Structure 1
Amino acid sequence: MYKLPEDPLQNINAKIDYYQQELEALKKQKEFPFIYMVVALPTTAVFIVLAIVSDGLIDFTVAITGALFFSLLFTCAYLVLYQPNREEMQGQLQRQLSVLHREKNKLEAGLRGEKEVAYILGWLPKQYITLNNIYLSGPEFETQQFDHIVIGPPGVIHLETKTINGAILIDDKGDWTVLRATQNKINREGMDSPLPQIQRHEAILQSFFKEKFPDLSIPTYGIVVMANSRTIIEGQDPHLTVLKKDKLNEYIKSLQTNPPLTQEAIKTIALSLIEHHQDLS
């Protein structure tokens, strides 16, 4: 059984390669005229020989007509048995490839967005430590991916990066809607709020700190970061902090905690999170 890679991008590339090979194999299958010629030539030769050896019992015209008829019959039978629904299968493969390419483009855009946010976070003051692409779990929680975790004087900030091309409308209930311009019209699409994801991350971090640092008060903050510079945000989520990437560092530096975490505590927390990281690559 073929095993797909764990990495999502490698997984999609493997599927694309597989479907592309299947499509190329279908395209290489011979067309009706070629198959008919391959069948007709030897069949006609056999019927002509039969006409000759029959000593006049089989007329040449009848022999050639019979040869052409049986050639057509054999060709159709071959196509039905060995190349059924060829055009339909090609259409299905092409549609599947189209879906996979869209998923790949979306995933690659997300990865680029995460890299851009990681670069921006790298310009925070030295007392901040940034961890990127961290996988953490808790006793009661399954493993979750954290795009970025920043440990600094205000506490621990966990960030979820979103790469969305279009405008995001957020109402006062925290419902998200995406507007995208396609072919001279605006498409309105619903979108899941990142709130459950942020809450899962928050629960894992709180559980982890309670176990590892029971005597230390560690404030946590969740931020949703829009990595696409063209994204337009209209409205404010009542439950979430949503920022564009260019506003991120200033916001983090503006956070205040009394008393702030010491540099020793910041390093200890960062090392502990790294040790707890589960490499799923």
Structure 2
Amino acid sequence: MSFGGIITFIVLLILGFGFIQDFYVLSVIPIIFSVYQFNKGLFLNHGIRGEKVVLKKLKKLPNDYIVYNDITINNNGDKAQIDHLVIGPKGVFCIETKNMKGDISGREEDHNWVQRKTGKKGGVYFQKFFNPCKQNGRHVYKLKGYLNRNRLSHVWVQSVVVFIKKRSSKLDVDSNTPVLKDEDLLKFIHNYKNQHGRLPNKTIKDIEKAIDKNIGLMNSAA
């Protein structure tokens, strides 16, 4: 049963017994919190595994590419947590990784996308999740703002959403933002045609310097 289903069951149980005493209600709260923490832990664990899969592939890029993993960009107090940031001759790529089981469907303009998965007993389940293109679009916006403040307003940042093939069976997506399986990521980067042409080495170094400065400030503030 999903976390939402468990919560619904408990709430209905409480409402069904109007005579329930206060201490019974209080005794349920730790159970709800424990279930929440358990589900949160599973979600984070899947996310970390997915990021490791993508990072392993990104490490195969040529030496003239710079790869950052799991960094926080602070644009004058407006923060963005970025799964992967790639900087190289082909451009700058802001990558959002999703490690979700089942079939994924959605459109660029949708607020939520839908995950369809089959349970162990054959039951089909549907779950909505926030549109990752919109999610990563916010990350790109904040990253661009930070680069602008560091005299790098001319740099184009390409948003990319990656689903892990091992868990995501099918992608039925209509989006201007590239939505890929992890196995296609390196090919996408190699074949990418930056609308402003290849990045000069000096620009790559300037971006790296700006990102490293941000990381240093974030670490000192921690």
Q: Give the alignment's TM-score, normalised by structure 1.
A: 0.62
In structure 1, the partner of 2:146 is 208
Indicate conservation of the 8 Å contact 2:108/2:177, yes or no. Answer: no
Indicate conservation of the 8 Å contact 1:229/1:244, yes or no. Answer: no
CA distance in 2, matches of 1:132, 1:184: 37
Deviation at 1:94, TM superposition (A): 3.8
Indicate conservation of the 8 Å contact 2:85/2:93, yes or no. Answer: yes
Deviation at 1:96, TM superposition (A): 3.2
Q: Percent identity?
A: 24
Give the alignment partner of residue 241 of structure 1, picking from 172, 178, 182: 178
Higher helix share: 1
CA distance in 2, matches of 1:226, 1:263: 30
Deviation at 1:192, TM superposition (A): 1.5
- The one-letter code matched in structure 1 to 2:161 is V
Q: Give the alignment's TM-score, normalised by structure 2.
A: 0.77
In structure 1, the partner of 2:89 is 153
Partner secondary structure for residue 217 of structure 1: coil
Q: Which has the higher contact order (CA 8 A, sep 6+)?
A: 2
More displaced, 103-112 or 224-233? 224-233
Q: Which stretches in structure 2 are left out of the alignment for 5+ residues?
A: 1-20
Deviation at 1:161, TM superposition (A): 1.0
Larger radius of gyration: 1
Partner secondary structure for residue 99 of structure 1: helix
Q: Which stretches in structure 1 are left out of the alignment for 5+ residues?
A: 1-83
Give the alignment partner of residue 232 of structure 1, picking from 161, 169, 177: 169
How many residues are paired up?
Answer: 196
CA distance in 1, matches of 2:122, 2:128: 20
CA distance in 1, matches of 2:116, 2:177: 20
- The one-letter code matched in structure 1 to 2:30 is L
Higher strand share: 2
2:43 pairs with 1:113: no
Note the 1:48-197 alignment, pairs <5 A.
92-139=29-76, 142-171=78-107, 173-174=109-110, 176-182=113-119, 183-197=121-135
